[in-house]
Structures are given as structure tokens and as C-alpha cells.
Amino acid sequence: MKPGRLVVIAAVVLSFAVAGVGAQKPTPVVAKPAAADPASARAAIEKANAAFADAMRRGDAAAAASLYAADAIVMMPNAPAMRGTAAITAGLGAMMKDMTITVFVPKTDNVIVAGDLAIETGSMQMTMKPKTGPEMKDAGKYLTVWKHQADGSWKVIRDINNSDLPAGK
């Protein structure tokens, strides 16, 4: 093959390659919420916790569950994990059907922010009055993972808690 033909063939191949690059579809850009600073994340989480505590004391399972993301998982003691809004609403509703929560005080101890996630550790005090039987007091701790939403709010995506009291007390 003559050297001139190689140059022509290389030029044709290169022109097809360059034309193909221009025809590629652009990669879609998915907007992510901006990473929050730890102080504003903690303030938002504490505000959401206050709304959750209020909903629990009012016996409003739907309002309490609204603070969870649609794909959240809640792991409470002595019960299977609740997965998703419907299960969380039903689980909280069943608890509220059996008892009135007269005191519910969550206390945020620490918040670690990493990108659009925040990990909260805290403690809680709770007093429950069953429909029949004596009042029950509890104290415990929790670990909650929050996700910063596109609208700027924070929603719980994972939640686990347990009591500090001995079993059966």
C-alpha cells in the first residue's frame, strides 16, 4: 500500500471517529442537595425530633411517620423491622392504639454530617400509659441516619433504638 493511501484512510477513520464523538448523548446531570454544614443539620434534626415527639404524644402516627423517607427502615426492640411509610405508619399506629405516650423527650447527643447524610446519636425518656395497667417509664438510646432532601429538609432513612432498662422492667 502506498504511503499516501494510508494517510487518506487514516484521515477518513479519524473523521468518522470525531463525528461519532459529537453524536454521543450528553450524560444527564442529577441535582443533589448541597452538603449541609453540621450546625444547620443538627438544628434541622432537633426541630424534626421535636415534631416527632409532639406527634407521638398526640397519638398521630401519620404525622410521626411523615418524618421518615419512603424507603426508611425502623428497628424497634422486640419487633420485626418496619420497612417503608405504610409499615412505619401501621407500626406506630398499633403502638399508639395500645397505649398513650404521655412523655417523649428525645435528646440529640451528637450529629456527624457526611455529604447528604447525617448520623445522629441520642438518648430518650418516655412514659407510656397502657389502656389497662400501670404507667411504664423507659429511658434509652438511639442511632438515626438522616438524608438531606432536594427540598432542603432532612428525612430519616434508618432508625434503631433500645432501652437502657433491664429486660422485663
pLDDT, tens digit, 9 for 90 and up, residues 88-129:
999 999 999 999 999 999 999 999 999 999 999 999 999 999
Question: CA 120, CA 52: separation in Å to the nearest integer?
Answer: 15
pLDDT of residue 13: 42
Name the band, by pLDDT with cuts 50, 70 and 90, for residue 10.
very low
Give me the mean pLDDT over the 53-75 stretch: 98
Give me the mean pLDDT over the 1-28 stretch: 47
Give me the mean pLDDT over the 129-134 stretch: 93
Nine cell digits for residue 43: 438544628
Examine the pLDDT at 1 and tell me if it is beyond 60.
no
Give me the mean pLDDT over the 14-24 stretch: 45
Question: CA 62, CA 85: separation in Å to the nearest integer?
Answer: 9
Residue 115, Ramachandran bin (φ over 0: left; ψ between -120 and 50: alpha; else beta): left
CA distances from residue 72 to 46, 63, 134 in whole angstroms, order as listed: 19, 15, 33
What pLDDT digit, counting tens, does each position of 135-160 carry?
A: 999 999 999 999 999 999 999 999 99
Name the band, by pLDDT with cuts 50, 70 and 90, for residue 37.
confident
pLDDT of residue 16: 41
Pick 22 or 26 by higher pLDDT.
26
Domains in the chain (CATH in brackets) are 38-163 (3.10.450.50)
Task: Note the pTM of the prediction, 2 decimals.
Answer: 0.78
Name the band, by pLDDT with cuts 50, 70 and 90, for residue 167.
confident
> Hey, what amino acid is at 2?
K
pLDDT of residue 45: 97
CB 111 within 8 A of CB 122: no
pLDDT of residue 15: 44
Q: Strand 154-163 to strand 68-75: parallel, antiparallel, or no bridges (unpaired)?
A: parallel
